[in-house]
Structure 1
């Protein structure tokens, strides 16, 4: 009980945002269009990135996809893990062409309090002024950020499953892509795109299975992307707040702060949030078998400890009037860190999610992805396996999106 009480107290004490953000251009409220969860700068062998060295007279170009239509847009920048103020010299938003190139007639310079530049305090965030650029649901956009000086280590998102581009000098208004000779599969400083008008936003919160590891680079075929496609006609945005390797109960140098710490910022502080789908816990189970530095600390966790962590998330969401949907933990038998003990914990947590009646609804990802052959119980269906017996393939991510009952994420209480 002490663990549960401390988790709830910690969540209640955390601020929802570092500073208020401006109102929408049309007088309405902002809704989420796209988002990512940020992490502290770190080097990882599987996704080399620019976070530790940061930028120096560089332009960084990042392609995103909005899940809803709108007429006015703004971007959000995060310096959450910066140790010094971040100076952004210029920025623009446009519609993409091929690769790093953009369509010339769509380039819109971005301003911050009517200035082309902005200084984001260490630990803080900033939002651009509204800019008129009508977009359709599921349309891609390209954001270019220019840093004239040295940034130092960069707040970033490791597993983007999308290409970011880097060039020397100021390329904010450059429609061509030739100057962008370097690429990365991570995101930098860009934490959100908001669309004008009040919208009931769905946030998918989780680990690498929400983040989309195993999906196709630059194809927008993660489970949150496919869910956004299912909801596009209703005008309901879907934001991806997954972090690969993330855990419920322990922080990691490589995989972000634990879910019970980052939940308020990455889920409950999103514009217009109405529903959060939680899929977390498999890494708490797996990492007890992992001796790498990224997994530390890696205590063996019990089902009761994981359930207490989930309860803390549920209470934080309900205290804000946000609906919270529990995702069952998918099969992982045959994966590198599988253990019989871990499987028993997964089964116990899934039983509680399904029958405990503490979540407002359940998305049964386990049953959607599991091999139905009893000889292969606890395994992913081969067609849904990306190859590591843990992360779904694009077909598996589609099955996950199809497992979400849309009425549970769009209906009002």
Structure 2
């Protein structure tokens, strides 16, 4: 291997073959143009407003000065007894009455925040019959979350170095597209499925190339992810229709149908499946593409079948662990619901066929099938292109040179 080849391989890309850059552009340019046109056509208009400003209670902040517990009054038999009674003194730190000290009741009820002197809290300012009252609604979490975010960023950068910086930049891009395009476009009445597919494509194109660089390895991952996303979207549409899911299965979706009647809830479910699958799909496709790259670099004599077979075995192990991760993630998010069903002695068949659980089962199954499809697609593309790499050209042996004769001597010989 020449020094130039070694320098190229250390960058983690497939060995060059004729037309590699042209093929990269043939995949990248149409994908970018289609995504840009889709975002232009689906871009939301003015953000919808559900309520005029000032219709709801005003939210202010404050600092707990003192807590004065008191015995709770007796309640009628059969009612839920009160647990925390007394008053809280709070010094307001925002709003028109900032700097003043007010007194309110200790928060009570399921999930009520527990407060202590020195806590920063959020309060609802209620104006009724000319009297202003306050109620503690929650803790302020801004500072703690900023500290946690800074620790997260430092850990990523300390381990990943420049790659960690690009990963954080990609995370910012993902968050921006979700907040400024996907969510507003769905609220504006656009098709949730189209918005999700276009938004996922934009996230994938920007994040993958930003994080892994403009290379043939990344382009293969992009192609594999696009194909798997299309398969996931089609399967999600078929599965939700076959299972008769409406997308309205909990209090949040019910509330959304009341406040935002223009949102297609079944389409919103499909959009959630597509976006949720993207986060694991790009991990699988990048891993498979990079695996074939390393195998082709370490074993230049490997052909398509050997590269595909070796990388697929690695992909099977990866998929097995990813499937377990998906199931545990959904189980952890649905743990309160599972406890509620278990406490009610709900039969297993009724539990699994309820819309809320069936919705999660469809989400898990469709996402997993998309992941499984991503492995052979991406591996085959990478192995096919790796076997087309430019092989070193062996110089052809030179023909034995015939002795140069004196033309005048040869002419004289023939004349004799």
**Normalised-by-shorter TM-score class:** under 0.3
Greater share of helix residues, 1 or 2? 2
Q: Normalising by structure 2, report the TM-score.
A: 0.25
Structure (1 or 2) with the larger CA radius of gyration: 2
Greater share of strand residues, 1 or 2? 1
Q: Normalising by structure 1, report the TM-score.
A: 0.25
